[in-house]
């Protein structure tokens, strides 16, 4: 197994792939499930078509996956709130690591590209996870 396939429950299509070594307590985003890539049927389909012919900037990529600049202050606020409360959120941790990965790629080469990695979770799942931790 090289990765986990994140499958949308509604239609069984692959949304994205994530590393198999997710943090303890990690769960796939709401409305999806994770399976080892080796268990995908031979005729699996990707949920959204990826246009590999159009390179985009890091900022455009983050917007396209729902993690644009306007959402990042919310994630930072939740991170600070969790730290103050002595709590953790696996989804928020995973998103933070993902954003650091995008920043490192951008810092090494700011050129637009068409092979940006996909996030391990959604903004909504990270917010829900953080709020659940804060309210526990």
Each residue of 30-73: pLDDT tens digit? 677 888 878 877 777 666 544 444 788 899 888 888 888 888 89
Each residue of 12-27: pLDDT tens digit? 777 777 777 776 777 7
Q: Domain-by-domain residue ranges, the chain?
A: 4-134
Each residue of 67-117: pLDDT tens digit? 888 888 999 999 999 999 999 999 999 999 999 999 999 999 999 988 888
What is the distance between the alpha carbons of residues 37 and 34, in angstroms, rounded to a whole number? Answer: 9
Q: Where are the extended beta strands (E) located within the chain? A: 4-8, 14-18, 32-36
């Amino acid at each position: 197994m090289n990765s986990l396939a994140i499958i949308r429950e509604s239609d069984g299509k692959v949304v994205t792939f994530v590393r198999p070594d997710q943090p303890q307590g990690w769960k796939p985003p709401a409305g999806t499930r994770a399976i080892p890539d080796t268990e995908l049927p031979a005729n699996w389909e990707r949920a959204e078509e990826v246009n590999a012919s159009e390179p985009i900037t890091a900022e455009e990529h983050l917007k396209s996956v729902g993690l644009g600049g306007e959402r990042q202050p919310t994630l930072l606020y939740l991170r600070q709130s969790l730290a103050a409360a002595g709590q953790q959120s696996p989804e928020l941790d995973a998103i933070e690591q993902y954003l650091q990965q995008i920043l490192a790629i951008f810092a090494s080469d700011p050129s637009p590209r068409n092979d940006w990695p996909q996030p391990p979770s959604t903004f909504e799942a990270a917010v829900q996870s953080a709020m659940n931790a804060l309210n526990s």
